[in-house]
Amino acid sequence: MNKIVIILFIVFSVSLFSQISITENNYYHSGTSIPMIHHEDIVPLSQVISNPLQLSNSSLDDLHDTLFFLSPEEIDFNNVFPDASCTFYLEFPEYGAYVFERTSENKSEILGIIINIPMIGDQSFTFNKPLTLFEFPTILNHQFSDHSSSDIRFGLNEFSNIIPSEYSTVLLMFDTIRALVDISISANYTDFGKITLSGTNVFDKEYNYIREFKNLHFVFDMQLRRKFDGSWVPLSSILSLLPIEIPITLPIDQTNKTYSYWTNDYQYPIAEIILSEDQQFATRISLRYDTTTNETEAIDIFSQNSKIYIYPNPVNNFIYINNEENINNLSISIYSVDGKLIQSLEIQNSSSLDISNYKTGYYFYKITNKEKQFVKNGQFVKR
């Protein structure tokens, strides 16, 4: 009899968690922003993983950022990826890329990326085939893997101005330089359970989850083609002979292994754990974080059409903030496109913000009151 009860309990439990199904409707999209709080440290995974899993902000360092999912045209000025539905910044320990994603009813795919290549600038890589990032619906025991790559080529004569004349023989030996990107992704969803978050305000409660284990392998390299036989030589081997330095070490070969805890209705995992290569340690723990006690109520109180004006846009040196409604105790936070908090300050009836030292590009702002309730957000371009 006891065995039957245990079996029925296990069947019921698996059935309960199998009800978690991630579909296109509860996946992120253009315009989504995900505030997170992080703890970066090397901790044995056995000290983090428990059943049920409990993660608390009280044990995390005060490191916040926001993951922004943008409209592709905000980054893809040349419309290289017209079929993309959103873009986001994917950061590795030594490098980063803007990822252009297309989401449909059945899957989400990476169409290509934009990265900044030393000596060349921002370049678009269109993959030889779309790379699967997520499949719908995702349920317990689902799994997939995929791989794609891309390369772009330039005539070596385009770089003659940075090669010292005494090394001009290099131009005689080679005729083309190419940049290569290769990405592999595999994912499985074979674990489930309960997770409790605390110290994250609106996310403080217990959830049923399915856990995604994703392995993302990213390789970037640059090569030179010999004129006489068409073979390719690693650029790193040639740079070692020249008095030219670039700010990265080639090739870049990075692997991200991540546990992501998905539940229904939240568009993005409520918690993530980045793993060491051997999967024995957690190197970064991230939790969904929002200090807004009731965002619907906040929007009712502070209409998105509030007479708080941010200008000019685009901007060169100063942003001006005009608080015509004289709302007290407001603050503005400025974020980069990869979600890093750049600057925060309190807003008076009339305030200005010096951004002359900001790099050229897109930035986001969020205005909140003293209770951290949402008031207004937007974006601007620094020239």
Q: Are residues 242 and 332 in the same domain?
A: no
Rounded average pLDDT over 254-262? 94
Tokens of 223: 């090569």
Residue 313 confidence (pLDDT): 76
Q: Are residues 271 and 311 in the same domain?
A: no
Cis preceding linkage at 52, omega within 30: yes
Determine contact, residues 98/84, Cβ cutoff 8 Å: no
Rounded average pLDDT over 316-332? 80
3-state DSSP assignment of residue 57: helix
Contacts of 179 by beta carbon, 8 Å cutoff, 6+ apart? 117, 120, 123, 125, 151, 152, 153, 220, 221, 222
> Would you say residue 6 lies in a domain?
no
Q: Are residues 268 and 313 in the same domain?
A: no
Residue 300 confidence (pLDDT): 36
Mean pLDDT of the chain: 81
Q: Are residues 196 and 49 in the same domain?
A: yes
Q: Are residues 170 and 115 in the same domain?
A: yes
Q: Are residues 258 and 365 in the same domain?
A: no
> Would you say residue 8 lies in a domain?
no
Q: Are residues 82 and 224 in the same domain?
A: yes
- pLDDT of 291 strictly over 70: no
Domain count, the chain: 2
Q: Are residues 250 and 318 in the same domain?
A: no
Residue 166 confidence (pLDDT): 63
Q: Are residues 172 and 50 in the same domain?
A: yes
3-state DSSP assignment of residue 162: helix
Give the range of the structural domain holding residue 215, as residue numbers without chain letter.
Answer: 21-288
> Would you say residue 30 lies in a domain?
yes
Which among 123, 79, 115, 84 has a CA at the least distance from the CA of 97? Answer: 115
CATH number of the domain where residue 372 is located: 2.60.40.3080
pLDDT digits (tens, 9 = 90+) for 325-336: 677 778 888 888
Burial tier of 79 (Cβ tally within 10 Å: 0-12, 13-18, 19+): exposed
3-state DSSP assignment of residue 111: strand
Q: Are residues 280 and 353 in the same domain?
A: no
Rounded average pLDDT over 205-224? 93
Determine contact, residues 98/89, Cβ cutoff 8 Å: yes
- pLDDT of 130 strictly over 90: yes
Contacts of 253 by beta carbon, 8 Å cutoff, 6+ apart? 217, 218, 219
**What global pTM score does this model have?**
0.76
Q: Are residues 264 and 299 in the same domain?
A: no
Residue finishing a domain among 254, 288, 322 = 288
Which among 355, 370, 352 has a CA at the least distance from the CA of 310? Answer: 352
pLDDT digits (tens, 9 = 90+) for 168-210: 676 688 889 899 999 999 999 999 999 988 876 677 889 999 9
